[in-house]
Structures are given as C-alpha cells and as structure tokens.
A = this chain, B = another copy of it.
C-alpha cells in the first residue's frame, strides 16, 4: 500500500456501482424516517405539518445556492449549461414560477404567512446547520462528490408520488395548488438525476472515486435525515421546542 497502488481494489463494474448507490437510498433515504411515515399516513397534527413546511423551506430555498456553488467551480461550460436548469427550476423567473414560489403556496395552504416562512425566522437551528453543511460540501468538495451528493433525486420521485397521494388522502389543505411543488418535481427530478447519474458513473473510474461518490451520497442522506430528526424531536413530544424556534400560533395567515 505504501506505493499507493499495491493492494488497491479494482473499480466495481458500472452496474454494481450503480446498484451500490441505489442501495444507499434503500437503506438511508428519509422516506424511512418516522416523521415521514407520520406525515404521509395523516398522523401529523396541523402544527406538525406547519413545522415541516416552514423548516423544509430552508432546504428548498438553499438549493439554488447549492447549484450556484457547484457552477462556480465548473470550468467546463457544457457542464454549467446542463446544470443551470436546476437553478431555473427552483428560482423561477423574475415575476413567477419556480419551486420556491410553489413551496410558499403550500405554506399558505397550511395556514402560514408566506412572508413569515420566507423570512426563515422560526426555523430550527438544526435545519439550518444541515442545509448549510450541504451548500458548503458542494462548494468545497471535489466535483465528483458534489455531483454524487445530488443523487438523492434518484429516490425522490417515489417519495413525491407517495407524498401527493398521502397528503391528498389525509389533509384538507392538499390540492393541486398546494401540492404543485411535488407534481412539478415528478418531471424535473428524473431529468436532473439521469444527467447526474451518468456523469457520476462516467467519472468515478477508480474504486477510490466510487467510494468517495458513495460517501457523498450517504452524506446527503444524512442532511435530509437530520432535518426530520430535528422536527421529530422538537414538535412531536411537548416541551422540546428550542429557544427562538417557531411555536404553534406564530406566523399564521392574518
């Protein structure tokens, strides 16, 4: 091992490596989290749904910052050109459209003041820390790791479809307008992830890089999971809301 090559494992086959990435989703994606189960089965109180919506806004609203951080490191114009639509999808145009505005429609539908939600006041510190860790990861780590960390989108369409169905079945606020964010992602995410997955499979051409890519995807599942842990801790048992975080009754539509 001292010479840096002896004993180095051969890369996995493309198929095996893709399967290993997909297994990370099976084992660790946040659809396995108790809060997710509670939300989708109709077991959340209106306030728990609100807590989820306003915290998750922090994540949604930082996705374009993350994608811009990625583009700020891409010396290849073609890679930037392919990546740019992610920012367009989330930010939308000057006047309308975009996932962030659609998320604020959901906020309104659950009775929250969208300006309050957009102010980010009331979000759990743990939410912010997780989201900021993701933006920093994409800004600082090798490009391969940065792309690999986006591959949770492999697992997203299933969760979005399940989310639409579960929310529609169980909550009065659920309708075409309030759930438009998830419907839109059903078509956007597969396009993005097809590009990202191919890029990762093409570029992870050594065992070391394959392991780095898998670690990056694992990191990203932690970013998502930690956000639900924080929600579950703060808003399911009484008396656990940290100082300064949203409390039921705050930030409601007038």
Which A residues have a C-beta under 8 Å from some C-beta of B? Answer: 61, 64-66, 68-75, 77-78, 80-82, 84, 87-88, 91-94, 98, 100, 120, 135, 139
Contact B65 A87 (CB under 8 A): no
Chain B residues within an 8 Å CB radius of A68: 68-72, 74, 80
Chain A interface SS verdict (over half): helix
Q: Are A80 and B74 in contact, CB atoms less than 8 angstroms apart?
A: no
Specify the chain B residue showing the minimal Cβ separation from A101.
B77
Contacts of A72 in B (CB 8 A): 65-66, 68-69, 71-72, 135, 139
In the complex, A169→B64 CA distance in Å?
45
Check A81–B61 contact: CB distance below 8 A.
no
Instruction: Give bound CA distance, A73 to B62, whole Å.
Output: 10
Considering the complex, give the chain B residue whose CB is closest to the CB of A85. B94
Q: How distant is A217 from chain B, measured CB to nearest CB, in Å? A: 21
- Which of B64, B73, B94 is A71 in contact with, Cβ under 8 Å? B64
